[in-house]
Structure 1
Amino acid sequence: MDKYSNFKLKIEAKPSLFHGRTVRKAVGQSLWYRIRDYILQKDTPVCSICGFSPQQDEMWNLHLHEIEHYDFENIVVKLSGLNLICANCHAFHHFGFTQLYSSKEKMERLIEHFVKVNECEINDFKECRKSLLFRRHSSSEVESKKTKSNLSFQEILAGNYTVRYAIIGDIPFKDEVIEKLNKKGVYYQYK
């Protein structure tokens, strides 16, 4: 068991095979914003991780995060749910991207957020980050083994493959999401 499994805010990284591939992008902004608006009206607008509750003019700080699982063999992103989370917590769900595109000052603020939310020390953050790097290295090996029969290394590097999407959770406008994915030929139905 991971010694940081009790942390509310975790450092995550999407497997490289699925970078940039999301249901949100596949269905388009119009439908995605309808889903977000529905959830904001239905639920209390609060970060499900740290409890941040934005003022009306700060709602842009509350993101709709996709809870995903990955089927490497069939190259499928499985959407199991959606959470409202603040921009700071969301940065840790896409930590590789965050590290690449954040200034030193922003990274320092994000690390402070991590420490505060998890009621831990800076060394816990550093150990957690090391653990992620180890998991990413290990998962890259798993990805290449599991996709070896389906994709060549060159196809993966060039992005010459299709990612499909399965909606395995209950989300608002689920039928419309599936219809849009079907029209684009990227919906995957598990039997």
Structure 2
Amino acid sequence: MHEDFGLHCLHAFSRVVPASCFAFYRIDEQLRARDFQLLHMNARTHRDYLDHYRDFDPLQPSLCQDERHAVVPLREAMARQARDSRRIYQGFLVRHGIRDVVEVIAHDRQRPVAGISLLRTGDLTPFANEDLQRLDGLRSLLDLAVRQMPEQPLPTDALLGLTPREQAIALLLREGLTNKDLARQLDLGLATVKTHLINLFRKTGARSRTELVRKLFP
């Protein structure tokens, strides 16, 4: 399951290089990050990034394609960035108290296919050269791991009518996760999870979780 794969990668990285929060993501054919999996990250920070700042991110996959430089620190990426974009993105960093970021990009047959973001906030110091060296060693293992990464299932017609968040919940429901598991996995409050479930039941006409899964995954 993709969610398990991403979390295993994040936990492995967190044991080697300390950071405040982490994100795992796939990289699609258009070199856009998708299917984010978060560890210790504030959901509001991530939503603000997706809604307003991702196109100004100097560490987005389309700007980090070079397989020879697959571990990219923020300071290096920002040095190549246009001044206006850099100013906007610095506003995001300051707003959320982010002191430093480093990106680790995994490749398969010279194409970027997945990445891990490590962010430091609060009292943590910026990433040092020793941290980058450790991440470069882990990156080689990540390259091997992503070649075994499970494919995301193609959405059914029923799933296409759902929002991205509802689709994520539906895929996890199929694995039998409880509401608490859903909240933890997606970094949501229990009340938010229940609201999404109500919307799913309304859209599908299902009256139980079992019937909901059966309708969405015939």
The TM-score, its normalising length taken from structure 2, stands at 0.32
Which of structures 1 and 2 has the larger relative contact order (alpha carbons within 8 angstroms, sep 6+)? Answer: 1
**Higher strand fraction: Structure 1 or Structure 2?**
2
The TM-score, its normalising length taken from structure 1, stands at 0.35
